[in-house]
Amino acid sequence: MTALAAPLAERGPTDWTSTEMTQRIARRYRAERNFRRLGLLALLVAASFLAFLLFTIVRDGWTGFQRSEARLEVVFDPAVLGVDPAAVGRAGGDRLLATADYPALLLATAAQLGPAADTLSDAAWLDLRETLQADPTLLGQRATIWVPVRSSIDLLAKGKFDLSAPSDSRGVSDEEVADWRWLERENRLRTGFNGAFISGADSTEPELAGIGGAALGSLFTLAITIAIAFPLGVLSAVWLEEFAPRGWLADVIELSINNLAAVPSIIFGLLGLAFFLNIAGLPRSSPLVGGITLALMIMPVIVIAARVAIKSVPPSIRDAALGIGASPLQVVFHHVLPLALPGIMTGTIIGIARALGETAPLLLIGMRAFVTDVPQGVTQSATVLPMQVFLWSDDVQRGFVEKTSAAILILLVILIAMNSLAIYLRNRFERRW
Amino acid sequence: MNPNPAQNPAIGHNQQPKMTARGVNVFYGQKQAIKNVSIDVSSDHVTAFIGPSGCGKSTFLRCLNRMNDTVDSARVEGDIALDGQDIYAPQMDVVQLRARVGMVFQKPNPFPKSIYENVAYGPRLHGLARSKAEMDAIVESALRRAGLWDEVKDRLSESGTAMSGGQQQRLCIARAIAVDPEVILMDEPCSALDPIATARIEELIDELRGRYAIVIVTHNMQQAARVSQKTAFFHLGSLVEYDDTSTIFTNPRETRTKDYITGRYG
């Protein structure tokens, strides 16, 4: 070491081939190799977690998009339905068809299933009504209709039970197994795509529950969120970056916004409960209140992303525009915002994706309500996708397990689509100079 | 006002100067960047500001179209007038001032838009064209005057940022002259360009002389000697000497000027 500390002139020429040098080089190579291996290992661990998650969800969830139905030969007997055939063609006939006694017809028809007559879903009569309403000429005629069966039969058909286990521990009764075997033997059971799951709303029965209501609730909620958070966030960012006087006030605002972005979401839910529901008196459980609450939550995220995007527009562009006589407002709207827009949109979509997956604040404003109707507007009671996942995962009925995974799949697909859109927008509109 | 005896703002003028500055001081916070500068700029000359780095020549240039307004900490004292009208007066509209006193920057900074849109932007802002045909004519004449028309007439819709550095800078000059300014300020317009592109810009400056009052800041003394008729030498925020370019370069009055010209410092 003394040799190194000596002034350059007094040292001899450096020996680049000494043992010490060779060892140093070998050590450096080893460190680089190990670091690369470590990185690869970390990546593999992360990827395998993700793969496991996706695998289990897809395995449990894909049957959630299917449902089992039993074949019925139905005779739409006007006497059983309590409908006067002559009255159907006249005014008010529609109402007559809507209010006819379909449960009685179902009861009478189910007898043809013999021992398995009680395997039909409680709401199977709705399918009879739907069929007749779609084609009133069927009144008095015979038709073949597939109606949903109870969840336990549905799960048996999908092979979800281990039938070799003792009957008291396999979760399904011997009687149900016998019913299912009879239906299969008589060739009266089929399992197919469950359209009602996509379009319908929640239900207490797994075979009738749908994700459509929650999806539409999410859509309404996000529409409100975007409509409020995007303009507010972008205008705040523009003002802070382009017009706000520099000084302690700007620093305080900056600090507050960064802190706001880190506030736990449940606190925004409390704010929504205290202000929008109790003081402003907006409708409980509605996408309107949910949207406003989530807008408050993601606005700081949009402000931060938009400020970064605005900051990255080179000052030379501002100079150029100012130099030929553009006003500060024209500089912002003609040049800065268009150039910053890809970054702003990326940040916004990431914020929206966060809002889409948010549950905690919505619990507090009543969006965990059990809603069996698809919402028609932003002021009606609704729930959202992650809340539906939460509600179903909490349900004691076994049939909801696959529904939960199916709902997660839909949520994931929407999230992936949104993130892909963000990446596409960034690449498509990014300008270089 | 008591002008520095070394300064002779009105030398050789037989007509009203386009811009006049009297006793200008500029501060950035506590630091004084420009000290008591008085100078006249005439329409029929190219005026060059030379001096070592940090001497305040660019700062002073940016006072002439109030671009220093965008710097929060900057404060300008003294009188600067365009055609005898105080440009720092409250009733002066700064947006219109910048249309009348155009600027070309050190680094070519075309908008990331088409060549046509780059040139048409200024006229559109100020409502100088009433029809598409009129706008086309303005764009063509500006590009012609900037010596760029023949190179770009077939690709006006291509991006202005896709051109070479020299072409970009000429596009910026075309953009500035499209709003028909009275003065053009050029802040080291060739410092980012290669010698051939530089020569092309210098030719262009010579062609534009007489039509516009041109003020050019340069750290390249040969360039000042080639393109200008008047030269102002700045040092440490003060205007040391202002005279005909030939006088400054062959027979300067001040020792500091002579030392700088001969390369003793700077």
What is the pLDDT at residue A246? Answer: 80
Residue B198 lies in a domain: yes
- Please count the structural domains in chain B: 1
Listing DSSP states for B156-207 in one string gives: TTSBGGGS-HHHHHHHHHHHHHTT--SEEEEESTTTTS-HHHHHHHHHHHHH
- Best residue in A324, A337, A429, A433 for a mutation probing chain B (most B CBs within 10 Å): A324
Query: A323 contacts in B (CB within 8 Å)?
Result: 65, 67, 98, 102-105, 176
Residue A193, SS3? strand
B102 vs A245, A318, A324: nearest CB:
A324
Q: Is A320's CB within 8 Å of B105's CB?
A: yes
Query: Closest-CA residue in chain B for A336?
Result: B111
The alpha helices in A62-173, defined as continuous H runs, are 78-81, 85-88, 93-98, 102-110, 125-134, 151-157
Residues of A with CB under 8 A from a CB of B: 245-246, 314, 316-327, 330, 334-335, 339, 431-433
Q: Do A324 and B95 touch (CB under 8 A)?
A: no
Quickly state the pLDDT bin for B12 (edges 50, 70, 90).
very low
Q: Which residues of B make CB contacts under 8 Å with A?
A: 65, 67, 70, 72, 95-99, 102-105, 107, 109-112, 121-122, 125-126, 161, 172, 175-176, 178-179
Render pLDDT for B122-131 as a digit per residue (tens, 0 to 9).
999 999 989 9
Check if the beta carbon of residue A151 is closer than 8 Å to that of residue A399: yes
Name the band, by pLDDT with cuts 50, 70 and 90, for residue B215: very high
Q: Do B107 and A316 touch (CB under 8 A)?
A: yes
Q: Is residue B61 part of a domain?
A: yes
C-alpha A296, offset from chain centre: 20
Q: What is the DSSP letter of A202?
A: -
Contact A323/B112, CB-based, under 8 Å?
no
Q: Residues of A with CB below 8 A from B87's CB?
A: none
Dihedral sign for Cα atoms in the order B195, B196, B201, B203: positive
pLDDT at A433: 52
Which pLDDT value is given to residue A165? 83
User: Where in chain A are the domains?
Assistant: 62-193, 212-429
What pLDDT shows up at residue A161?
Answer: 86
Note the pLDDT of residue B266.
Answer: 60
Nearest Cβ partner of A316 from B98, B102, B105?
Answer: B105
Mean pLDDT of B203-227: 92
Instruction: Return the H-helix or E-strand segment holding A190.
Output: strand A189-193
Which residues from chain A sit within 8 angstroms of residue B105, using beta carbons? 316, 319-320, 323
Tell me, what's the pLDDT at B140? Answer: 95
CA-based nearest residue to A244, from B72, B88, B28: B72
In which element (H, E) is residue A104 found?
helix A102-110
- Position B7 scores a pLDDT of 46
Would you call B111 and A335 a contact, using CB atoms and an 8 Å cutoff?
Answer: yes
Q: How far apart are CA B110 and CA B167, in angstroms?
A: 10
Identify residue A414 by its one-letter amino acid code.
I
Identify which of A305, A285, A280, A312 has the alpha carbon closest to the alpha carbon of residue A229.
A305
- Picking from B121, B169, B188 by the largest number of A CB atoms within 10 A of its own CB, the best residue to mutate is B121
User: CB within 8 A of A334, min separation 6: which ones?
Assistant: A321, A326, B121
CA distance B9 to B1: 13
pLDDT tens-digit readout, B31-87 = 999 999 999 999 888 999 999 988 889 999 999 999 988 888 889 999 999 999 999
Burial B52-89 (b: 16+ CB within 10 A, else e): eeebbbbbbbbbbbbbbbeeeebebebebbbeeeebbe
Q: pLDDT tens digit string along B151-164?
A: 999 999 999 999 99
- For residue B201, being part of any structural domain is answered with yes
> Which residues constitute the domain of residue B167?
19-261
Per CB-CB distance under 8 Å, the chain B contacts of A431 are: 112
In this prediction, residue A79 carries a pLDDT of 87
Looking at CA atoms only, how far is residue B102 from chain A in angstroms? 6
Residue at B7 is within a domain: no
Structure tokens at A431: 């300008």
CA of B229: how far to CAs of A106, A164, B221, in Å?
104, 104, 13
Residues of A in contact with B107 (CB under 8 A): 316
Interface A–B counts its CB contacts (< 8 A) at 67
Contact A245 B72 (CB under 8 A): yes
In one-letter notation, the amino acid at residue B25 is N
pLDDT at A374: 87
User: What six digits make up the tokens of B66?
Assistant: 């109030």
- A339 and B112 within 8 Å at the Cβ level: the answer is yes
> Cα distance from B88 to chain A (closest Cα, Å)?
16
Q: Please indicate, yes or no, if residue B5 is contained in any of the structural domains.
A: no
The pLDDT > 90 percentage for chain B reads 70
CB contact under 8 A, B125 and A323: no
User: Are B98 and A322 inside 8 Å of each other by CB?
Assistant: yes
**Is the alpha carbon torsion for A132, A135, A140, A145 positive or negative?**
negative
Region B18-26: mean pLDDT is 94
Residues of chain B with C-beta less than 8 angstroms from the C-beta of A339 = 112
Q: Which residues of A touch B96 (CB under 8 A)?
A: 325
Nearest CB partner across the interface for B95, out of A314, A319, A325: A325
Q: Note whether A339 contacts B110, CB cutoff 8 Å.
A: no
Contact list, B172 vs chain A (CB under 8 Å): 320
Cβ(A343)–Cβ(A312) below 8 Å: yes
Is B175 within 8 Å of A324 when comparing Cβ atoms?
A: yes
Measured distance CA(A366)–CA(A388) in Å, rounded: 13
pTM more than 0.90 = no
Q: What's the ipTM?
A: 0.87
Residue B85 belongs to domain with CATH number: 3.40.50.300
How far apart, in whole angstroms, are the C-alpha atoms of residue B81 and residue B87?
Answer: 5
Q: Does domain A212-429 have CATH number 1.10.3720.10?
A: yes
Confidence band, pLDDT 50/70/90 cuts, at residue B2: very low
Does any domain span residue B14?
no
Q: What is the pLDDT at residue B1?
A: 38
Quick one: pLDDT band at residue B198, thresholds 50, 70, 90? Answer: very high
Closest chain A residue to B164, measured at CA: A433
State the smallest CA–CA distance between residue A423 and chain B in angstroms: 21
pLDDT at B4: 44
Residue of chain B nearest A245, judged by CA positions: B72
Q: Give the residue from chain A lying closest to B105, CA to CA.
A: A320
Judge: A246–B72 Cβ closer than 8 Å, yes or no.
Answer: yes
Cα–Cα distance measured from residue A235 to residue A254, given in angstroms and rounded to the nearest whole number:
15
Cα–Cα distance measured from residue A6 to residue A2, given in angstroms and rounded to the nearest whole number? 6
pLDDT of residue A27: 96
A413 near A58, Cβ under 8 Å? no
Q: Which amino acid is at B114?
A: S
Q: Compare all CA atoms of chain A with the CA of B186 and give the residue at the minimum distance.
A: A323
Over residues B187-193, the mean pLDDT reads 90
- Cβ-defined contact of B111 to A320 (cutoff 8 Å): yes
Tens place of pLDDT per residue across chain A (433 aa)? 445 556 666 777 888 888 999 999 999 999 999 999 999 999 999 999 999 999 999 998 999 999 999 999 999 888 888 888 888 777 777 888 888 889 889 888 888 888 888 889 888 888 889 888 888 888 888 989 999 999 999 999 988 888 888 877 888 888 888 899 999 888 889 998 998 899 889 988 888 899 999 999 999 999 999 999 999 999 999 999 988 888 888 889 989 999 999 999 999 999 999 999 999 989 989 999 999 999 999 999 999 999 999 999 999 999 999 999 899 999 999 999 999 998 999 899 989 999 999 999 999 998 888 888 888 988 888 999 999 999 999 888 888 999 999 999 999 999 999 889 888 888 887 765 5
Distance between CA B111 and CA A99 in Å, rounded?
A: 68
Instruction: Look at A320 and B98 and tell me if their CB atoms are within 8 Å.
Output: no
- Option in B70, B72, B176 nearest A324 (CB): B176
Give the model confidence (pLDDT) of B171-184 as tens digits.
Answer: 999 999 999 999 99
CA A130/CA A147 separation, integer angstroms: 11
Q: Is the pLDDT of residue B208 over 50?
A: yes
CB B5 within 8 A of CB B170: no
